[in-house]
Structures are given as structure tokens and as C-alpha cells.
């Protein structure tokens, strides 16, 4: 079983003491994801559909 911590500048940094995501084999576990635009730090406009795409 391989475990990889995932971190990207394309998403807002984690606010708490956790990773943006953890990949174990072919599974990806996310935590604390919120639909912010990393350029503006504002919630993405367009409702739940666009916010889900951002996350």
C-alpha cells in the first residue's frame, strides 16, 4: 500500500493541521475542502454546480 500526501497551489492552503488530500493506492481522500477561488479567496460564484467543480 502506497501513501502520498497531496498539496497543490491550485487550491487554497489547508486552514488546520491536515493535508489538502491523501492518496492511498488509487483512492484519494480529501478534508476540509471549500469552494474558494485561490486568486481571490472568495467563494466561487454560480451556485452548487460551479462550487463542486472548484472543490
CATH at residue 36: 3.30.1330.40
Mean pLDDT value across residues 16-43 = 88
pLDDT exceeds cutoff 80 at 50: yes
Residue 10's domain comprises: 3-54
What pTM, to 2 d.p., does this model score? 0.59
Rounded mean pLDDT of 9-26? 84
Count of domains forming the chain: 1
Could you give the CA distance from residue 45 to residue 6 in angstroms, rounded to a whole number? Answer: 26
Give the Cα separation of 31 and 12 in Å (integer). 12
State residue 15's pLDDT score: 77
Amino acid at each position: 500500500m502506497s501513501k502520498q500526501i497531496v498539496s497543490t497551489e491550485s487550491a487554497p492552503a489547508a486552514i488546520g493541521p491536515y493535508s489538502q488530500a491523501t492518496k492511498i493506492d488509487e483512492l484519494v481522500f480529501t478534508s476540509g475542502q471549500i469552494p474558494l477561488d485561490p486568486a481571490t479567496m472568495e467563494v466561487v460564484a454560480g451556485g452548487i454546480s460551479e462550487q463542486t467543480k472548484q472543490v
